[in-house]
């Protein structure tokens, strides 16, 4: 049975709670949790809030240790955790990024409406399931030379587009233009590279998915217009990451960071917070390898999106251009970035850790596509396979308060094993069918592990970040066809 967290929490307002710095001796700052009273009950069900407090011990932390409303227990940092560190005095930590480096989401808009594909939707679902490799351990159909492999890791989406897997517009509509600077393939182990080469262009398993969706509701007409969507529009969402490649990068560098704890005299409340100074050899090596994994993930999603366009063309008999299959945006969820913020009246560069959190730049930020300048960066929030997903936009308030960060999804409330036990004897496929959702899957227990009850209510999570001013709702998307590993 999970132990409920009963530490001190101070209510700041309707959507913010504070773990005081006095909670544990050694905390350098407080913890701030974005939640409401209802979600807080589920958040207390594990020790993720203790992890928020533990992150506050880390050297060089700037501001508070933050947690989004989809927070749950993770390795070292909580999933849903955000923290910023001074580049000269602070650290970088693999636990602050996670194992699935650049797990992220992209959404395509189309010119299609429900009636346009209702006779072909079953064919589309089966074709996507057949032709896009998915499932734990799945292997891809892309084979790259040694020189090309180096380019995948340093150029990401830009490599994929160069190879014919997409368009230049796709690059412009991807966070970091699909290629993190500072990627260093020499800092990636041979084992990680071998795992990655076999899995490029695969969806993976767990909570990763590809969905055909219907725009169910519009909240912001102007933003929706700029995104090219309206009520009844068909969208496609792709949610996946860096597969075994990113997992191995994290595993390898946690070993190195474990040795760095003593080397740099770090006093940590949990060894899972293994870290190294940002500018140390270990810190720079990890960042170089992590950036490779981030670029791999962007190339991975780009290839999957390209095949999705080809499948729609094959089944519907129209080109992707005629179908209006344009990428709205692609966001990363698990990543460390160097970004500039105002601290104490000065612009400073910080190392921002987002683990299960989405970047959410507000209007006019220089790093978002020019056509979105007036509304802010698109924020893409996937639900689980039986509930809605959302498109939002970032805000200036997020830049000022949360290091331009917001939630990344619903957030689990129970383990996969617990979900399997709870759903024993239920027919999840039929339950989804009763909601009008067609599902294709490979794993033996995928549907049981990923049923809606295993997650918080994404509608409530999104309402918290809107209420707190960290992002603004644009559209709610309803799942129609779900492909899962």
Alpha-carbon distance of 40 to 51, in angstroms, equals: 15
Return the residue matching tokens 């008999």.
Answer: 317
Which residues on adjacent β-strands are paired with residue 212? 236, 481
Query: For the chain, how long is the longest CA-to-CA vector?
Result: 65
- DSSP, residue by residue, 424-479: TT--HHHHHHHTT-EEE--STTHHHHT-GGGB--HHHHHHHHHHTTSEEEEEEEEE
Catalytic residue among 247, 408, 417, 440: 408
Reply yes or no on whether 168 is catalytic: no
Return the residue matching tokens 């946690």.
Answer: 254
> Do residues 215 and 232 touch, judged by C-beta distance below 8 A?
yes
Alpha-carbon distance of 92 to 338, in angstroms, equals: 11
Alpha carbons within 13 angstroms on the beta-carbon side of residue 25 total 0
Q: Map residue 269 onto helix, strand or coil.
A: coil
Alpha-carbon distance of 171 to 178, in angstroms, equals: 6
> Do residues 257 and 286 touch, judged by C-beta distance below 8 A?
yes
Helix, strand, coil content of the chain in percent (nearest 5): 40, 25, 35
Element spanning 13, H or E:
strand 10-13
Alpha-carbon distance of 186 to 184, in angstroms, equals: 5
Return the residue matching tokens 């020499």.
Answer: 186
Structure tokens at 23: 């909670």
Tallying the residues shown for the chain, one arrives at 485
- Known catalytic residues are 408
């Amino acid at each position: 049975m999970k132990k409920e967290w009963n530490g001190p929490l101070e209510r700041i307002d309707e959507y913010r709670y504070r773990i005081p710095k006095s909670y544990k001796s050694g905390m350098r700052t407080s913890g701030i949790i974005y939640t409401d009273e209802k979600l807080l009950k589920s958040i207390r069900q594990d020790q993720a809030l203790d992890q928020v407090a533990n992150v506050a011990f880390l050297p060089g932390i700037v501001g508070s240790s933050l947690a989004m409303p989809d927070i749950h227990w993770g390795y070292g940092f909580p999933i849903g955790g955000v923290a910023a560190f001074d580049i000269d005095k602070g650290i970088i930590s693999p636990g602050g990024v996670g194992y699935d480096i650049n797990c992220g989401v992209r959404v395509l808009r189309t010119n299609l409406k429900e009636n346009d594909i209702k006779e072909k939707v079953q064919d589309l679902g089966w074709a996507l399931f057949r032709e896009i490799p998915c499932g734990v351990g799945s292997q891809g159909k892309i084979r790259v030379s040694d020189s090309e492999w180096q380019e995948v890791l340093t150029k990401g989406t830009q490599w994929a587009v160069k190879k014919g897997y997409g368009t230049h517009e796709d690059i412009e509509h991807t966070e970091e233009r699909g290629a993190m600077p500072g990627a260093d393939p020499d800092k990636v182990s041979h084992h990680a590279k071998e795992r990655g080469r076999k899995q490029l262009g695969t969806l993976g398993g767990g909570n990763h998915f590809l969905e055909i969706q219907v725009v169910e509701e519009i909240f912001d007409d102007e933003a929706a217009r700029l995104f090219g969507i309206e009520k009844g529009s068909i969208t496609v969402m792709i949610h996946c990451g860096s597969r075994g490649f990113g997992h191995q990068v994290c595993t390898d560098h946690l070993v190195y960071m474990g040795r760095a704890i003593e080397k740099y005299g770090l006093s940590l409340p949990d060894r899972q917070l293994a870290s190294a100074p940002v500018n140390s050899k270990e810190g720079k090596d990890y960042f170089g390898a992590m950036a490779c994994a981030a670029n791999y993930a962007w190339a991975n999603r780009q290839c999957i999106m390209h095949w999705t366009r080809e499948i729609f063309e094959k089944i519907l008999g129209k080109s992707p251009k005629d179908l209006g299959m344009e990428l709205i945006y692609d966001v990363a969820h698990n990543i460390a970035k160097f970004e500039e913020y105002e601290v104490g009246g000065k612009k400073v560069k910080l190392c921002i850790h987002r683990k299960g959190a989405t970047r959410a730049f507000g209007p006019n930020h220089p790093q978002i596509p020019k056509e979105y300048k007036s509304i802010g960066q698109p924020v893409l929030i996937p639900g689980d396979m039986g509930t809605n997903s959302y498109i939002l936009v970032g805000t200036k308030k997020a830049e000022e308060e949360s290091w331009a960060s917001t939630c990344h999804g619903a957030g689990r409330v129970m383990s996969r094993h617990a979900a399997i036990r709870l759903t024993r004897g239920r027919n999840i496929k039929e339950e989804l069918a009763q909601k009008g959702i067609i599902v294709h899957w490979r794993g033996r227990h995928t549907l049981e592990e990923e049923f809606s009850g295993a997650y918080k209510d994404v509608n409530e999570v999104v309402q918290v970040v809107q209420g707190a001013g960290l992002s603004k709702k644009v559209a709610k998307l309803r799942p129609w066809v779900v492909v899962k590993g």
